[in-house]
Amino acid sequence: MELNAQTQDDVMLVTANASRIDASVAIQFKDQMRDLTDGGPTRIVLDMAQVDFIDSSGLGAVVAAMKLVGSERKLELANLTPTVAKVFKLTRMDGIFIIHDDLDAFKLAS
């Protein structure tokens, strides 16, 4: 699991460079998110364009990452593939996270 981060203005963009976030990488994902976002900007956007599959462990890791950033900061999602978007919708997590269709949409929401 590889995550890359870049900060521009008051937004940190974290890109998930993996096709899957599942039980085999969930702990690694959560640990990397904690390391990347610790003390960062108030808005964090997770670009999931390359993620084709997420299971319950992966979903739990994304939720854990949201909790790690705390209530004073926001973890937002962008570029969910149709399969991943379906998981967020079926679990009603689409009502918990701010989800942007693409990176241009998140920039407009700032």
Interval 31-77: pLDDT, tens:
999 999 998 899 999 999 999 999 999 999 999 999 999 888 999 99
> Which amino acid, one-letter code, is at 17?
N
Per-residue pLDDT at 110 exceeds 70: no
- pLDDT of res. 108: 47
- pLDDT of res. 94: 94
Helices (H), the chain: 26-37, 56-69, 82-90, 103-108
- pLDDT of res. 9: 81
**Residue reference for tokens 């203005």:** 9
Mean pLDDT of 85-91: 96
Per-residue pLDDT at 106 exceeds 70: no
Domains and CATH numbers, the chain: 3-108 (3.30.750.24)
